[in-house]
Amino acid sequence: MRLLLVEDHVPLADELIAGLTRQGYAVDWLADGRDAVYQGASEPYDLIVLDLGLPGKPGLEVLREWRAGGLATPVLILTARGSWAERIDGLKAGADDYLTKPFHPEELALRIQALLRRSHGLANQPQLEAAGLQLDEGRQCVSRDGKEIELTSAEFRLLRYFMLHPGQILSKGHLAEHLYDGESERDSNVLEVHVNRLRGKLGREVIETRRGQGYRYAGVNA
């Protein structure tokens, strides 16, 4: 999953990037609201974490411009401003969730997980489940019939994306856009290797190849 972090406090941004990367997210970082308006609307992010007190353009104005332009990406606001009025302003502007600084990193992680599930119609699931598999996002492993299956970090990132999109045909290009940040080299051959390794651990029937189209996680009938 690819996230955009818009935060002008560099030490906090560094801490958040490190933590989110450990959790298996690809993170792009911006510190200026003017840059965020363009990049947030032009890149295929799965979720945006947005500070309100930004240079260049305030976070609320950035959010309003995104929503006015039709951007539906989930947005979680991070801010030191904790009044009820400011929370209401953020929600009215189109925020999906609101977290006041200081906050515990685990709470941010859980809120991001919940927002991503909700945005894919999986709000009632306490964890990702599809095709007989249960994904533990905290421990980055998967289980079937009570038996735990270890995953590498790359396999976990790929499987999580598949499980959030069960039954959908996903091209290699689409997967690369959502599994790597803007600075990483995107190699479709590497993706193919990871898919084959997942098949070796989970069974070939779990991830189908659609010739000329991409892959389909067999979580639902299509």
Instruction: State the pLDDT at residue 183.
Output: 80
In the structure encoding, which two tokens stand for residue 209, read together? 């190849």
Q: Residues 100-119: what's their mean pLDDT?
A: 92
Q: Are 176 and 188 in contact (CB under 8 A)?
A: yes
pLDDT per residue over 46-87, tens digit each? Answer: 999 999 989 999 999 999 999 999 999 999 999 886 677 878
- Coil vs helix vs strand at 217: strand
Q: Mean pLDDT, the chain, as a whole number?
A: 92
Cut 0.95: pTM above it: no
- What CA–CA distance (Å, rounded) separates 196 from 190? 10
- Coil vs helix vs strand at 7: coil
Instruction: State the pLDDT at residue 219.
Output: 63
Collect all residues with Cβ–Cβ distance below 8 Å to 108 and sequence separation of at least 6: 16, 19, 49, 76, 78, 99
User: DSSP state, 105?
Assistant: H
Instruction: State the pLDDT at residue 83.
Output: 72
pLDDT per residue over 7-42, tens digit each? Answer: 999 999 999 999 999 999 999 999 999 999 999 999
180: left (phi > 0), else alpha (psi -120 to 50), else beta?
beta
Instruction: State the pLDDT at residue 222.
Output: 39
- What CA–CA distance (Å, rounded) separates 45 from 41? 9
